[in-house]
């Protein structure tokens, strides 16, 4: 909505009013002279008047109008800063790289200060780690004015965007393939694209960045010239499943917004496995937990080391099955065995998983790599179009059903993530009270 009167035109109006007043004043006091004096005298008066008027006009412009122009400019700047703030809030949602918990807490605090003012929430309990950290961050801003918080937020996001952009830039001449992923190693040779989960220090837990990178790698693999794609883990674990610190990264919109966005992300993530067009093979090199197990039901073959275990502790975590496992596991192993895994959280050995049809074949850990790669290289020599079409025939019959199951599982989980059962389980893990 535009302001009325518009301050931008104030100096002009003001000068014209001034001119009008001066003119009438001049006419009034000089009426007698205008009527009776000679033309020469009149001209001098007119010159005098013109000079005085111009001087006053300039003084008026400088003294009276300048502060008004300044005022208007300040107001415009403040309006721009509100717009910048909204842009910055949107920019944060689009950040591809995780800026780290410290920065996220800072962003949270500045957002709250900018939108709600000083922290007036009751202090959360000591065990409510996540909310306490957020409360502390907000509270330390004290009585910082909203406008300053808004400006600090905008500055922080802009420094963040430029540092993250520059760190993700690839040096000219370097091999893009090796630098394009932060959480994965992706190689392609002999007709096989290998995607390796690469956070061994965190047991290959899948953080938000890794979800995105796996989707990106799968999309690239579906279009590259390889005939088959392999997923495996670096280090002693295949994957410990969802990175539980994903729960600590709460955006300014709160935990509900986080749960909603996570459900969208999870649906898209699982959707990539449902739709993957080439043979997709898992090389389960070690223990697998949570979502890294459930999506195995969407692979075309699963080879496991005898060190591998398969664990879906959803009830322990206050969660429910995903990855279409509520459908695929029942089909693969029947309801009794699927319930044991998905509801009671029974951990299977590689041998048990193979007996129940989730795993194609188990190998001694000492010969696992060699034996599996021999098989994979032989598969990669088969006619790629025939393999693709055969997969399509098998998968197409199920695709619609799988997408519907995926959507339902995600919407149930969206609610579960907000439950006390889930929150307590996550806090317990993060405060290291329990390992599964
Ligand atoms: C508000 C809604 C937000 C939702 C966002 C989610 C979006 C998508 C969700 C999809 C749903 C998926 C469901 C699941 O995957 S459930 C399974 C989750 N995983 C777990 O519960 C495993 C937890 N980890 C463990 O129990 C143990 O770490 C372990 C795997 C049994 C290994 O134990 P071990 O003693 O050998 O090793 P450490 O515990 O010392 O681990 C070494 C370091 O790795 C870190 N780690 C391991 N696993 C995870 C994990 N899942 N998340 C985060 N971090 C993990 C561990 O903390 C150690 O790190 P440190 O050295 O820095 O302490």
CATH of the domain at 141: 1.20.80.10
Please give the Cα distance from 271 to 361 (Å, whole number).
26
The strands making up 288-289's β-sheet, listed across from edge to edge, are 288-289, 309-311, 348-349
The verdict on residue 378 lying in a domain is yes
Are 149 and 257 part of one and the same domain? Answer: no
pLDDT tens across 51-107, in order? Answer: 555 555 555 555 444 444 444 444 444 555 788 888 888 888 777 676 777 778 889
Contact 325, 312 (CB under 8 A): yes
Which atom of ligand 1 lies nearest, measured to the CA of 269? 8
Lookup result for tokens 């499943």? 241
Report how many domains make up the chain: 2
Distances (CA, A) of 275 to 222, 237, 398: 10, 26, 11
Task: For the beta carbon of residue 149, count every other beta carbon within 10 angstroms.
Answer: 23
Per-residue pLDDT of the chain (436 residues; tens, 9 = 90+): 333 444 445 445 554 545 555 665 555 545 445 544 544 454 545 545 555 555 555 555 554 444 444 444 444 445 557 888 888 888 887 776 767 777 788 899 999 999 999 999 888 876 577 788 888 889 989 988 998 889 888 888 887 776 655 443 333 333 334 448 999 999 999 999 999 999 999 999 999 999 999 999 999 999 999 999 999 999 999 999 999 999 998 998 999 999 999 999 999 999 999 999 999 999 999 999 999 999 999 999 999 999 999 999 999 999 999 999 999 999 999 999 999 999 999 999 999 999 999 999 999 999 999 999 999 999 999 999 999 999 999 999 999 999 999 999 999 999 999 999 999 999 999 987 556 6
> Which of 130, 203, 246, 311 maximizes ligand 1 atoms within 8 Å of its Cβ, making it the mutation to test the pocket?
203
The verdict on residue 282 lying in a domain is yes
Indicate which residue's Cα is closest to atom 35 of ligand 1: 435
Domain final residue pick, 116, 143, 159: 159
Map residue 169 onto helix, strand or coil. coil
Are 248 and 349 part of one and the same domain? Answer: yes
Are 208 and 153 part of one and the same domain? Answer: no
Are 205 and 272 part of one and the same domain? Answer: yes
ipTM score of complex: 0.99
Which pLDDT value is given to residue 95? 73
DSSP H or E stretch at residue 196: strand 192-197
Q: Please name which of 99, 310, 103 lies closest in space to residue 207, comparing C-alpha atoms.
A: 99
Map residue 280 onto helix, strand or coil. strand
Are 343 and 412 part of one and the same domain? Answer: yes
* Cβ–ligand 1 contact at 207 (below 6 Å): no
* Cβ–ligand 1 contact at 426 (below 6 Å): no
Lookup result for tokens 């900018």? 114
DSSP H or E stretch at residue 349: strand 348-349
Are 366 and 243 part of one and the same domain? Answer: yes
Which pLDDT value is given to residue 431? 87
Are 140 and 211 part of one and the same domain? Answer: no
> Which of 104, 209, 242 maximizes ligand 1 atoms within 8 Å of its Cβ, making it the mutation to test the pocket?
242
The verdict on residue 212 lying in a domain is yes
DSSP codes joined into one string, 396-434: HHHHHHHHHHHHHHHHHHHHHTTSHHHHHHHHHHHTTS-
Which atom of ligand 1 lies nearest, measured to the CA of 434? 26
Contact 153, 114 (CB under 8 A): yes
Domain final residue pick, 159, 174, 205: 159
Are 285 and 421 part of one and the same domain? Answer: yes
Task: For the beta carbon of residue 308, count every other beta carbon within 10 angstroms.
Answer: 30
Which pLDDT value is given to residue 40? 45
Are 147 and 189 part of one and the same domain? Answer: no
Domain final residue pick, 125, 159, 193: 159
Indicate which residue's Cα is closest to atom 16 of ligand 1: 290
* Cβ–ligand 1 contact at 311 (below 6 Å): no
Maximum pairwise Cα distance, the chain: 123
Domain CATH code at residue 210: 3.90.226.10
* Cβ–ligand 1 contact at 321 (below 6 Å): no
CB within 8 A of 387, min separation 6: which ones? Answer: 227, 228, 278, 279, 379
Task: State pTM to two decimals.
Answer: 0.67
Which pLDDT value is given to residue 93? 73
Tokens of 61: 């412009």
Contacts of 40-45 with C-beta under 8 Å, sequence gap 24+, read none
* Cβ–ligand 1 contact at 246 (below 6 Å): yes
Contacts of 416-422 with C-beta under 8 Å, sequence gap 24+, read 416/318, 416/319, 416/320, 417/247, 417/255, 417/258, 417/259, 417/262, 417/319, 418/255, 418/256, 418/259, 419/318, 420/318, 421/318, 422/317, 422/318, 422/319
Are 280 and 326 part of one and the same domain? Answer: yes
DSSP codes joined into one string, 220-261: HHHHSS-SEEEEEESSS-SB--B-GGGGG---TT-HHHHHHH
Are 111 and 199 part of one and the same domain? Answer: no
User: Under the phi-then-psi rule, with left for phi > 0, alpha for psi from -120 to 50, and beta for the rest, what region is 216?
Assistant: alpha
Indicate which residue's Cα is closest to atom 23 of ligand 1: 240
The verdict on residue 331 lying in a domain is yes
Are 143 and 198 part of one and the same domain? Answer: no
* Cβ–ligand 1 contact at 262 (below 6 Å): yes
The verdict on residue 360 lying in a domain is yes
Which pLDDT value is given to residue 407? 98
The verdict on residue 278 lying in a domain is yes
* Cβ–ligand 1 contact at 269 (below 6 Å): no
The verdict on residue 231 lying in a domain is yes
* Cβ–ligand 1 contact at 320 (below 6 Å): no
Please give the Cα distance from 241 to 292 (Å, whole number).
5
* Cβ–ligand 1 contact at 417 (below 6 Å): yes
The verdict on residue 53 lying in a domain is no
Q: 96 lies in which domain range?
A: 85-159
């Amino acid at each position: 909505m535009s302001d009325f009167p518009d301050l931008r035109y104030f100096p002009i109006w003001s000068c014209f009013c001034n001119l009008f007043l001066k003119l009438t004043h001049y006419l009034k006091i000089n009426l007698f002279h205008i009527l009776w004096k000679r033309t020469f005298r009149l001209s001098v008066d007119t010159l005098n008047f013109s000079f005085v008027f111009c001087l006053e006009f300039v003084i008026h412009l400088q003294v009276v109008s300048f502060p008004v122009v300044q005022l208007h400019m300040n107001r415009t700047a403040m309006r721009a800063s509100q717009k910048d703030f909204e842009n910055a809030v949107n920019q944060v949602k689009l950040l591809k790289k995780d800026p780290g918990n410290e920065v996220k807490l800072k962003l949270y605090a500045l957002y709250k200060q900018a939108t709600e003012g000083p922290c007036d929430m009751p202090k959360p309990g000591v065990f409510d780690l996540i909310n306490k950290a957020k409360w502390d961050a907000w509270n330390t801003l004290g009585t910082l004015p909203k406008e300053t918080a808004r400006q600090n937020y905008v500055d922080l996001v802009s420094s963040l965007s430029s540092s993250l952009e520059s760190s993700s830039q690839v040096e000219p001449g370097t091999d893009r393939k090796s630098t394009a992923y932060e959480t994965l190693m992706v190689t392609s040779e002999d007709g096989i694209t290998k995607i390796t989960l690469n956070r061994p220090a965190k047991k290959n837990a899948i953080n938000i960045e890794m979800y995105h990178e796996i989707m990106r790698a799968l999309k690239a693999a579906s279009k590259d010239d390889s005939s088959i794609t392999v997923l495996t883990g670096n280090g002693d674990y295949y994957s410990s499943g969802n990175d539980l610190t994903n729960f600590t990264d709460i955006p300014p919109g709160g935990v509900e917004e986080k749960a909603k966005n996570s459900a969208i992300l999870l649906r898209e993530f699982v959707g990539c496995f449902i739709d993957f067009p080439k043979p997709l093979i898992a090389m389960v090199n070690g223990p697998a937990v949570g979502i890294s197990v459930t999506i195995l039901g969407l692979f075309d073959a699963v080879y496991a080391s005898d060190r591998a275990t398969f664990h879906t502790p959803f009830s322990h975590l206050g969660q429910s099955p995903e990855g279409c496992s509520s459908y695929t596991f029942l089909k693969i192993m029947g309801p009794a065995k699927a319930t044991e895994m998905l509801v009671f959280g029974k951990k299977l050995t590689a041998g048990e998983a193979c007996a129940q049809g989730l795993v194609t074949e188990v190998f001694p850990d000492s010969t696992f790599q060699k034996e599996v790669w021999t098989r994979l290289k032989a598969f990669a020599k088969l006619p790629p179009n025939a393999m693709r079409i055969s997969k399509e025939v098998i998968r197409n019959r199920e695709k619609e059903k799988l997408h519907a199951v995926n959507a339902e599982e995600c919407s149930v989980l969206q609610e579960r993530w907000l439950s006390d059962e889930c929150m307590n389980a996550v806090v317990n893990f993060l405060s290291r009270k329990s390992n599964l």
